[in-house]
């Protein structure tokens, strides 16, 4: 009986180590962040340091007419303002 429990525990441990565990373990370890541009009412706004899924969610929430995300880049203001 003890040997059987040991074998079952070892099997479960091996499954967790090889299978990756839960959904959090399946997310990428290093997510790329970048600049998220949203055009709404003819105004272009940028939010920096967002991942692409975060950018998509924010733009859906803000009802952007069009949006794009540039990985590994900061927001750029085309030399206007600060």
For residue 55, with 0-12 CB atoms within 10 Å meaning exposed, 13-18 middle and 19 or more buried, which class applies?
buried
Average pLDDT over residues 51-69: 96
Alpha-carbon distance of 76 to 38, in angstroms, equals 13
3-state secondary structure of 7: helix
Looking only at the bridges linking them, the beta strands covering 43-50 and 66-71 are unpaired
The band of 72, judged by pLDDT with boundaries at 50, 70 and 90, is: very high
Give residue-wise pLDDT tens across range 6-30: 566 666 555 555 555 555 555 667 8
Which residue, among 58, 55, 59, has the nearest Cα to 69 in the 3D structure? 55
The band of 82, judged by pLDDT with boundaries at 50, 70 and 90, is: very low
């Amino acid at each position: 009986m003890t040997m059987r429990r040991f074998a079952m525990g070892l099997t479960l441990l091996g499954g967790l180590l090889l299978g990756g565990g839960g959904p959090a373990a399946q997310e990428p370890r290093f997510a790329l962040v970048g600049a998220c541009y949203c055009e709404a009412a003819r105004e272009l706004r940028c939010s920096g340091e967002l991942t692409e899924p975060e950018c998509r969610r924010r733009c859906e929430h803000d009802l952007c007419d069009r949006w794009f995300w540039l990985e590994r880049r900061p927001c750029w203001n085309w030399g206007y303002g600060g």
